[in-house]
Chain A
Amino acid sequence: MKQHLHDLLRARAGGDALAWLEKALAATTPPVHHNTLLGYYSGASRRMGKRALNLSQQEQARGETLDAELALSHWGADEAARALLLLTLAEQLPPEEFAELARRCYELGDSREQESWLRGLGPLPDCARFLASAVDACRTNIIPVFEAIACENPYPLRVFPEANFNQLILKSLFNGIALERIVGLEARLNASLSRMSDDYVSEREAAGRTVPTDIWLVLAPHIAGEGLVRVHRYLSHEDPAHRYWAALGLGHHANGESREALRARAALEREPRVKAALDGALARMG
């Protein structure tokens, strides 16, 4: 990954930016002066710019062999440079010193630096040791920082314990962040997430407010009783988005209880996207 990032930057950056990058990388040779390194970490946005990497097909293919779930195309040049700096540092420093300095990069970062840090967590060696900072980032009220850990980022999928993962999903729903942006969500569906989402829908309905249409994806899979009846109701909702997500969610339902509801809806459904979702859900149930 380190080589890949370096190559991506070499293919994009101008002479001054590259000269700066090499200087920054040279500063990772021990003994590392921490404040100098932190200065380089900060300076990346000014020096490398924030233009998205927008990978070519060939670059994309190479990236996928290294880590298929990392959305490198969305990363800015500054973010790639920061990740490269940390990966290089990880090779140079003893693990404890590296972890401390890496944490400082996060704690002292402005929003963009924190976003870069969170996006670049996955490729770091022994990345689970940074779990506490990643969970802390989920408490932010700065939405772009939250999105950097929650969206298009495989770290929560791979490292977050269930309780933290569920909180992340709930916070995404609260903030209107599309659940499709959560990497590997389907692999992390669980019963308490269904229960929490169901409570949230009850709260919204009681307050006479709208319900996020994609909530059914996380609510339906482990729901029973009243909650399941409600999902079936939304399967006929006038908004096709509700019908679509309810169908997808029911496709993940643990048993066949919803087969009849899905079949009945499929017979009436005119919207091609919803129809396809209903058929897909029925196929999953076999």
Chain B
Amino acid sequence: MKMFDPHIHMTSRTTDDYAAMAEAGIAAIVEPAFWLGQPRTHAGSFEDYFNGLLGWERFRASQFGIRHFCTIALNPKEANDPRLSEEVIDMMPRYLQKEGVVAVGEIGYDDQTDSEEKLFERQMAMAMEYGLPVLIHTPHRDKKQGTVRSIDLVKSMGFPEERALIDHNTEETLPLVLDTGCWAGHSIYPNTKMDEERMARLVKQYGSERIIINSAADWGISDPLKVPKTVDKMREMGIPEVDIETIVWSNPATFFAQSGNLNLEDIETRPNINQTELFDGNSVLRGQTPIVES
């Protein structure tokens, strides 16, 4: 089965991970811009990070036949650093017009401070201006309250609900999100957040509509194969194939296609590796005129 991991931080992962993901059936991924573990102290570090997501990381993924998309934002944690926030916000419009940027994100609350809220709101406004969906991170601490506040902000701004994906849900928050028109993401983690079996039980209870799962794998203890592993668990627990396929492929694809930067037909096939690129250590076209795909 072809799978989509719509939230994974590949910058922190190895080529072994890419190979295992491709082998397990992952054909497309979204890498949200987030915190790097170590706080950045210069706005210029964001510039290089964003450039890396759009350049090197996309190329790395393509070498394994995986389509790489990304989201761009000032994340909630670093939204609390006034040395950074204005400058990063100022550079964002340049990035929001680039190809392969499928949402503004991760935005949202972490400690639920005033400055987080201010930047959450400003970035939602930018998403509206540039016609992009949003990926909303919900906090680990005081999660339910943070989710309610996020939903309230979406509604009060008149942000189109079908263009908002609220991530890292649990049993407590999922019904709140499904009551709106927003999409509900679930991060399947080895220890925290959500595991495969709990996820399968949620699908049994709520079905597949607007439900999305991801590995949220990053530089911490996490597992880039959580999407395929959850697929196995859902099968084992008798969830119909059509629902599984909806959750791990059609839903994330449909959601991010709203950006205009993810073509549903294109992602049905493996990336067209440019004919001039390497194949088995050699150019496919030694000595012929290359055909560059349009």
A joins B in a complex: yes
Would A74 and B93 count as touching, CB distance under 8 A? no
* Interface residue? B258 (CB, 8 A): no
Contact yes or no, A214 B277, CB < 8 A? no
A214 to B274, CA, bound (A): 21
Q: How many residues of B contact A (CB 8 A)?
A: 32
Let me know if A178 and B260 touch, CB within 8 A. Answer: no
Instruction: Please measure, in the bound complex, the distance between the C-alpha atom of A113 and the C-alpha atom of B55, giving whole angstroms.
Output: 10
Task: Please determine whether B99 and A176 come into contact, CB atoms closer than 8 angstroms.
Answer: no
Main secondary structure of the interface of A (DSSP, over half): helix
Chain A interface residue bracket vs B = 35 or more
Please determine whether A176 and B286 come into contact, CB atoms closer than 8 angstroms: yes
State how many angstroms separate the Cβ of A218 from the closest Cβ of chain B. Answer: 14
Given A39-B97, A46-B99, does the pair A142, B59 have CB atoms closer than 8 Å? Answer: yes
A1: interface (CB < 8 Å) = no
Evaluate contact between A35 and B91: CB separation under 8 angstroms: yes
- Whether a CB of chain A sits under 8 angstroms from the CB of B246 is no
Residues 241-270 of chain B: 1 if any A CB is under 8 Å from the residue's CB, otherwise 0?
000000000000000000011000000000
Contact A144 B56 (CB under 8 A): no
Residues in B with CB closer than 8 Å to A88 are none
Find out whether the CB atom of A181 lies under 8 angstroms from the CB atom of B278. no
Q: Mark the stretch among A91-99, A104-112, A224-232 that contacts chain B.
A: A104-112
Contacts A180-B287, A213-B286 given; does A108 touch B51 at CB 8 Å: yes
Q: A35-B90, A38-B94, A213-B286 are in contact. Are A147 and B276 (CB under 8 A)?
A: yes
Query: Does residue A50 face the partner (Cβ distance < 8 Å to B)?
Result: yes
Choose among A110, A112, A178 the residue that contacts B288 (Cβ–Cβ < 8 A): A178
Is A39 a contact of B51 with CB atoms below 8 Å?
Answer: no
Contact pattern, B 274-289, Cβ under 8 Å of A = 1, otherwise 0: 1011100111011110
> Which of A110, A141, A145, A180 meets B99, CB within 8 Å?
A110
Which residues of chain B are near A113, meaning CB under 8 Å?
98
Please classify the interface of chain B as helix (H, G, I), strand (E, B), loop, or mixed, using the class held by over half of its residues: loop
- Chain B min CB distance to A138 (Å): 15
**In the complex, chain A residues whose CB is within 8 Å of the CB of B152:** none
Query: Which chain A residue has the least Cβ–Cβ distance from B70?
Result: A110
Who on chain B is nearest to A209 by CB?
B281
In the assembled complex, the Cα of A178 lies from the Cα of B294 at a distance in Å of: 21
Q: Are A46 and B260 in contact (CB under 8 A)?
A: yes
Give the residue of B51, B55, B286, B294 whose beta carbon is less than 8 angstroms from that of A214.
B286
CB pair B292–A74 under 8 Å, yes or no, is yes
Does A45 reach chain B (CB closer than 8 Å)? yes
B69 to chain A: closest CB distance in Å?
12
Q: A108-B51, A141-B56 are in contact. Are A176 and B100 (CB under 8 A)?
A: no
Chain B's closest residue to A75 (CB) is: B292
Chain A residues within 8 Å of B232, by CB: none
A-B contact pairs, 12 of them (CB 8 A): A35-B91, A42-B97, A42-B98, A76-B294, A110-B98, A110-B100, A112-B99, A147-B274, A151-B290, A177-B276, A177-B283, A178-B285
New A-B contacts (9) at CB < 8 Å, excluding given A42-B94, A112-B99, A175-B278:
A38-B94, A46-B99, A52-B294, A110-B98, A111-B55, A144-B277, A176-B282, A176-B283, A178-B283
> Which A-B residue pairs are the 10 nearest by beta carbons?
A110-B54, A51-B294, A43-B97, A176-B282, A176-B283, A142-B59, A42-B97, A45-B99, A178-B286, A178-B287
Q: A residues bordering B, Cβ < 8 Å?
A: 35, 38-40, 42-43, 45-46, 49-52, 74, 76, 107-114, 141-145, 147, 151-152, 175-178, 180-181, 213-214, 241
